[in-house]
């Protein structure tokens, strides 16, 4: 079975914001956001221990505890073990993502992709999520943005540890699938080249979006599809900049990025198109993509995501985007599907 067969629809909910990403979210607001997603028909939820040092998992587990476990698909991640010991959350070295969860819990985060740590991480996640099983497990952030020049060392630790454990758990029927959850293309490329690793998919955040997709097109999408390894697109709004926010790659957007977004906005306005709709539909137009999982921290955002998925976008918008070279000539677009 492909990843598309394992997921209940093309729209999921990425719960990184529930870990107090960028701001402290009131508990009632976090709970209301999950329930709004459920009421809107969303049945795939993704989280990670890293998001607020377990806070996202705790909040998601509490919200989902009122629903039947068989009625939704759940994924979380391994590679970070959360301890009872505390640290200064604002002072953590998170590579390019420093400060992103400074409002989360102060519990110490240990980077560990070994077999033992993978099993411990899963057990801890099950407890925080108040559930007896996970559907999909992603190996989290074995890439340059967190580990710089050391990223290959962490990748190799995962290759000999987490990859083997997750493959065994899938074979035993404990989980339905596994893959990488990363913000960079290169770890996915490397995994596809391994004879001993056969992932089901990749959760690729920020690298196949309306704003940033060229490298993924050149290096990953075709080869992933050829191996029946499908992509879940995380961060389809590029950390918020495509949805009216100020962040790109989890940091304040640069003047160059802001200028590019303004170009997209002008073309969208000329054709009466919501940029959020264009962002979601662009990502889903690639046949290698199984689902998109935008994040949200307010209930009202969920309805916007659902509406964006079904919004009618005129062909002229996509043609104008191509002519302005704001989308790659190689990128499949919704109008290409219509022509086919």
Tens digits of per-residue pLDDT, 264-311?
999 999 999 999 999 999 999 999 999 999 988 889 889 999 999 999
Give me the catalytic one of 6, 44, 51, 113: 51
Give me the catalytic one of 77, 176, 184, 276: 77
pTM: 0.95
Where exactly are the structural domains of the chain? 12-255+275-313
- Fold classification of 12-255+275-313 is TIM Barrel (3.20.20)
What is the longest distance spanned by two Cα atoms in the chain?
A: 57
Tens digits of per-residue pLDDT, 163-173?
999 999 999 99
Tens digits of per-residue pLDDT, 70-87?
999 999 999 999 999 999
- The beta-strand segments (E) located in the chain are 13-14, 44-46, 73-78, 80-86, 107-111, 136-140, 177-182, 201-205, 230-234, 247-248, 251-252, 289-293
Give me the catalytic one of 6, 44, 46, 141: 46
Please indicate whether residue 77 is annotated as part of the active site. Answer: yes
Q: pLDDT at residue 339 above 50? A: no
């Amino acid at each position: 079975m492909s990843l598309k067969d394992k997921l209940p629809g093309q729209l999921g909910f990425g719960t990184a914001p529930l870990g107090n990403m960028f701001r402290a979210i009131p508990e009632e607001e976090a709970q209301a956001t999950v329930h709004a997603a459920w009421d809107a028909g969303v049945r795939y939820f993704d989280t990670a221990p890293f998001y607020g040092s377990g806070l996202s998992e705790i909040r998601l587990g509490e919200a989902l505890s009122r629903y039947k476990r068989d009625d939704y698909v759940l994924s979380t991640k391994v590679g970070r073990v959360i301890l009872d010991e505390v640290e200064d959350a604002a002072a953590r070295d998170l590579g390019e993502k420093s400060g992103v969860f400074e409002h989360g819990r102060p519990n110490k985060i240990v980077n560990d992709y070994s077999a033992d740590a993978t099993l411990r991480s899963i057990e801890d996640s099950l407890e925080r999520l108040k559930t007896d099983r996970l559907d999909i497990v992603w190996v989290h952030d074995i890439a340059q943005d967190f580990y710089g020049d050391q990223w290959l060392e962490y990748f190799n630790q995962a290759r000999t540890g987490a990859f083997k454990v997750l493959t065994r758990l899938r074979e035993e029927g404990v989980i339905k699938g596994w893959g990488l959850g990363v913000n960079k293309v290169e770890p996915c490329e490397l995994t596809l080249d391994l004879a001993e690793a056969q992932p089901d998919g990749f959760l690729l955040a920020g690298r196949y979006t309306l704003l940033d997709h060229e490298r993924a097109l050149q290096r990953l999408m075709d080869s992933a599809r050829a191996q029946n390894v499908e992509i879940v697109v995380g961060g389809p709004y590029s950390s918020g900049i495509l949805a009216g926010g100020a962040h790109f790659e989890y940091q304040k957007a640069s003047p160059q990025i802001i200028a590019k977004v303004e170009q997209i906005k002008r073309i969208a306005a000329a054709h009466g198109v919501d940029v959020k709709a264009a962002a979601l539909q662009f990502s889903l137009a690639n046949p290698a993509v199984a689902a998109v999982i935008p994040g949200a921290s307010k209930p009202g955002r969920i309805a916007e995501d659902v509406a964006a998925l079904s919004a009618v976008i005129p062909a002229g918008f996509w043609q104008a985007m191509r002519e302005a070279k704001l989308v790659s000539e190689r990128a499949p677009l919704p109008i290409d599907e219509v022509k086919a």
